[in-house]
Structure 1
Amino acid sequence: MSAVQKNKSSFRNSFKFMRRASGSNDHCCVPQCSASSRYNSELIFHKFPKDSTLRAQWVHEIRRSAFTVTPHTKVCSRHFESHQIMKTDTNRRVLVSGSVPSLFEWNNYSTVQTRPGVWERCTRSTSPLPPEPVPTDENLPEELEQPVTVPMVVEHDYGASPTLCVNREVYEDMVRELEALREQLQSCHLQSFGLQRFSSSPEDIRYYTRFPSYRHLMAFWDLIEAATTKMVRVTRARKNYVASTITESPLTRPTKLLPIDELFLFLTYLSTGCTQRELGHRFNIHRTTVSRIIVTWANFLYSLLGSICIWMSPTAVKANLPQAFDGNYSDTNIILDCTELRCQTPSSLLLQSEVFSTYKSHCTFKAMVGMSP
């Protein structure tokens, strides 16, 4: 390595950009504004006012949707006019009471003072050109027709002036279109794929849920409804797999479906075998959300129903034992049988070897069923 290269490398290693000693870390919350107090000591960053009415005016002028104001949310001084900023006795710059920011990028405000170009700085002759003759209706040729005057709707900056210019015909057309869209939206809500849509049809309830009727389904829901508030939901983050003790509310619910509609989705998936994409289109949610709901409810019902003791006591079995079991089978407590349910072939070769059935010649889930005599 030469001496020049050594000097360059040592200079790069020794020189670093330093922050201002007294600089804060404030940023402007206005869109399209990248002002920061870290490297700009001339700007002043003002907090939002405590008055709710004045704060609402600030938020309206800034034009940010779903915006939450915090104690660290600030607006830089470049968005205020000069007469709105005054100096105190201690030479501190503060806002005048009732000031509202009004200088933004979208109303063609720029803090950069550009230098006039060469064409503006050069002197030119001021001799006027001869005026062109103004054409009249008599001077126009017969084959040329007069152009039809079409009114133009100029774009209006609604934040700069309180005066609005509204075209009545366009306004009435937009109102009619809005009413039509509202009726269409209401009809879509009425035709949404949910449990309430099929509550009056026992055939549909049996098809989609395998419950005998809507009354049986609601009886089952009344038993598990209290436990759904402590449900452990499956999410993308591994840390969220841990049980949470936070009570679920409409504000903290991860999906827009109600818990009973999530149960209806899970039962429909088991009963009809619909794909997750099809269920996503029916319930108007994403396919990934459908997958998480299915896994969540499978784990929830397995844990909840698996903790219930369903075995009859030996005394109850002997008291209700049929006469066909008298004699050699009088001590029978349970009758066992096995069954297989066909399942999807897993991608793992190890899992394929565990779930493959030579009897069915396909991958199946093996289950042992017990029934009291």
Structure 2
Amino acid sequence: MAQSRRSCFCSVPGCSCGARKQPYLSYHSFPTDPDQRRQWIHAIRRDEGPDFCIKTGSTFVCSRHFTLEDFVSGSTISRLRSGAVPSLFAWNNFTAPATRESAFKRAKKRQFVLSQKASQAKDATADHDYVAHPPAGALDEALDYIKELEARLQNVDLSATLFSRYCASDDQIRFYTKFPSECVFRVFWESIAPSASHLVYWTTAQKLGEEACAEASPARCMPLIDEFLMYSFKVAVGMKEQLIADMFQVSIATVSRVTITWANYLFIVFSSINLWISREKVKASMPQRFLKFSPNVRVILDCTKVALEMPSFLTLQSETFSAYKNHITLKGLIGVAPCGMVTFISALYRGCISDKEITKVSGILPLLELGDEVMADKGFLIQDLLHEVGAKLIIPPFRHPGQFSKKETEETQTIARLRIIVERAIARVKCYHIWDSPVPLTLIGTVNQIWHNCCVLANYQGPFCVPD
């Protein structure tokens, strides 16, 4: 009988499903028939005793461990057929064990194959002499191999991984990886998995140098999807390395090695993407409010800072100290199109750099074209820099001794409403909790890559709603 109470938990070893976190599953009590109950106990690889006792109303097996044929078709609730036994587990990759065909079916299949071969031989004698056939059994082997490849590509089996344990729902995927849904994550994962399978750990790459690219992919201590989950725990969730090491049952050095490897790999992948979009595409995706007030805006600029762990060298402290934040910081420039897509990401610079200087050295000026408009805050005094490339700056009016006119007030309010787009984009980047606390100095060589990755991944979270 299926149970839907929120206190239900699956009793299969290694399965952490429960009705509170996975309410969409059904939970089934052990059968009362002694023989069938023994079959269930044997199937889930447990023995009754002090550590495991079957109690009515509190010991269940979730629906993940049954095949579709085990359920009664057409029933409004998930009801098991009589005699159904759980057969899908982590130790068999959630695949049902193959059943041996009857002798009658095997004999009939052999007879069909023999008749097909006889027909092919007859046709071959009547055709030209250059017609050749593959050896016996080659076609069957090829078909089996094709089916195996299709299964690898179409069914990305994540069931036997820690990823399946921690990311079993859209809410969990949003929390642990910041992707909005499982569908979006699978699109992302299927696009990078083929190249990620050839990753070489950064420590190995350091030793091999240029020869690292020629080496075969090393044997891994965990599935590839779990390595990405480990990287997400560090970057998206902001967990400490010791906690991640305990959860994955690996050393802290392994956590650090995997984090740095994936940070550099994703940076290489994302750097090959041209985020800067053409003027035509900017206008085609521009919200109506922009078309009304600022139709020529190409990009909205703003800077943000991330805290850095206090270095021991006084010279480095002075170069990275931010009087505004009163802390050691790094500063980055982000450019956002009116539609909300991040289209420009600068490197991280020392925290004391000005908005004008970071705009000058970031590399965004060569991307602008004659007639482009750049929207920014009052601190961006970059009119002269934009004038050199034929662009125009749009910022709120500065305060003056007199009172703002009605036009100036409306202009300030309009720019503030439109500039909120870049503020929301930065908020999406900062939702990666690695930025909640000062970045450790152990990641100082990788912080630029992590920063760039977070900015690009913010685009996977969908468009913004421009306020009226």
Q: Please identify which structure carries the higher helix content.
A: 2
TM-score (norm 1): 0.44
Tell which structure's C-alpha radius of gyration is larger.
Answer: 1
TM-score (norm 2): 0.36
* Structure number with higher relative contact order (C-alpha < 8 Å, ≥ 6 residues apart): 2
